[in-house]
Amino acid sequence: MVSENEKMTKLNRLFITTWGYPTKTAKGNPFVKEMAESIARRGVRVVVIVLSFKGLRSLVNAPRNNWSTSDYIEVREVTVMNLIPGFLRIPRLQRILAIQQVSKQLEKIKRSVGEPDAFQIHYIRHSSCWLFEEFIRKNHLKYILFEHSPGSSFLRSDSLNRGGFKNFLDIKSFVQGASLRIARIKKYQEKLEELYQSTFQTLPSFISNEFTQLSNGHLAKRKGQDSRFTFIGIGSLIKNKGYGLLIDSFSLAFKEDKNVDLVILGDGPLKADLLSKVSKHNMTNQIKLMGLVSKQSVFEHILSANVVVVSSAWETFGNTVIEGMLLGKPVLSTKCDGPETIITKETGILCERTVESMSDALKWMYENHGKFDSNLISEYCVNNYSEEKVMNKLSDYYLDNLGLVL
């Protein structure tokens, strides 16, 4: 914590790095980009550092990384070239060369934009933090660690992915050296504090101003009473999202009721399997996989639906939950971490992750949907998850732990 005697200074420049930064064709981790843009709108020069790993083959045929850009932030690619053939396993030398390459490129960026006041790193084990450690130490930078991941990120076993660190003690030392450590939800905070023996804060996702502006004037809009009842699921078609479970549950609940639809927005490797499952249930007229759609289209689909549904095995938070709530829609979700911290009895319901439990929850929501107050749901979302509310909380963390005014 910053003492009262320490001088508070304005945060002028911030470096941010993350695993899975979005490209113009891949969604990646949009939350980090939205946070970077929000910080920049507060008068901070934000530089997003994106790592790119390349080998010998890329010298001949290297695909260009088309990173998602913005009017508010700068995106700088830092490349790690591994010129040692794979059959020559020299990990120590490769490590030294990688650190030297990254440090040299970061120094060049620093000369171009100015020295950062702090370095914010998203994902402790998945952002190759070890590659930034020398630059941070050499420049005496304060750094912030923001952990999103559940699961193996909390396990100490040295047999797990250490994210390039030499051993667990090496990771632990880096974590403890941070000026500020943040987890997504309380459950993850407690596990991280136990693992690293360090204090973590919590910070949820937020509704970006862009999405809020899209919703202006539409929050009170509802579906007509004579229209078809629609559940909507939003997210990549991957195993964790549980769309197979959702389709099975929906079929069990509404195979005999042709007035209810399920719309799923998103694309991914399981699309063919899910379409096959829909066909086997003989529900192609009620279950529609719409593919990847624009943000504007997501907004319009939510507006035209009755209920947002989440069927995931786990969610570090659950952006679709708060996006639905902003538009006044109640949410039905499995008990999968993040949504459990968001949903209240006034805003939706939770169910176990089984076909029977989800089927019962879908039927209950269909029959009791009218009990939810659309305006109350929207107000709850704005009061807790607006960009201003969440970023003010982050600003307080910066002030209290780094002595920097955001």
- Taking only the tens place, the pLDDT of each residue in 161-195 is 677 888 889 999 999 999 999 999 999 999 999 99
CATH 3.40.50.2000 fits 9-206+387-405, yes or no: yes
For position 167, what pLDDT does the model report? Answer: 86
Instruction: Quickly state the pLDDT bin for 362 (edges 50, 70, 90).
Output: very high
CATH architecture assignment, domain 211-384: 3-Layer(aba) Sandwich (3.40)
Q: Average the pLDDT over 205-213 and give the result.
A: 83
For position 22, what pLDDT does the model report? Answer: 87
For position 211, what pLDDT does the model report? Answer: 74
**Contact criterion met (CB below 8 Å) for 196 and 190:** no
Main-chain phi, psi angles of 268, to 5 degrees:
165, 180
For position 54, what pLDDT does the model report? Answer: 84
**Contact criterion met (CB below 8 Å) for 5 and 403:** no
pTM: 0.89
Of 72, 82, 89, nearest in space to 34 by CA? 72
Dist. CA 328–CA 306, nearest whole Å? 9
β-sheet bridge partners, residue 234: 265
For position 209, what pLDDT does the model report? Answer: 82
- Taking only the tens place, the pLDDT of each residue in 40-89 is 999 999 999 999 888 766 655 666 778 988 899 999 999 998 877 666 66
- Mean pLDDT check: name the lowest of 65-79, 175-189, 252-266, 347-361: 65-79
| Three-state DSSP class for residue 262 | strand
Identify the burial level of 140 via C-beta atoms within 10 angstroms of its C-beta, where 0-12 means exposed, 13-18 middle and 19 or more buried.
Answer: exposed
Instruction: Quickly state the pLDDT bin for 210 (edges 50, 70, 90).
Output: confident
**Contact criterion met (CB below 8 Å) for 138 and 35:** no
Q: Average the pLDDT over 146-150 and give the result.
A: 83
Report DSSP letters for 264-332, one per residue: EEB--TTHHHHHHHHHHTT-TTTEEEEES--HHHHHHHHHH-SEEEE--S-BSS-HHHHHHHHTT--EE
What residue segments make up the domains of the chain, in order of their start?
A: 9-206+387-405, 211-384
- Check pLDDT > 90 for residue 10: yes
Mean pLDDT, the chain, rounded, equals: 89
**Contact criterion met (CB below 8 Å) for 207 and 387:** yes
Tell me whether the CATH fold assigned to 9-206+387-405 matches the one assigned to 211-384. Answer: yes
In the DSSP assignment, the letter for residue 203 is -
| Three-state DSSP class for residue 29 | coil
The share of the chain scoring above pLDDT 70, in percent, equals 88
Length in residues, the chain: 406
**Contact criterion met (CB below 8 Å) for 206 and 386:** yes
Dist. CA 129–CA 166, nearest whole Å? 12
E strand or H helix that includes residue 198: none
The number of angstroms, rounded, from the C-alpha of 73 to the middle of its chain's C-alpha atoms is 18
- Mean pLDDT check: name the lowest of 24-33, 160-169, 239-248: 160-169
Instruction: Quickly state the pLDDT bin for 224 (edges 50, 70, 90).
Output: very low
Dist. CA 110–CA 101, nearest whole Å? 14
For position 8, what pLDDT does the model report? Answer: 77
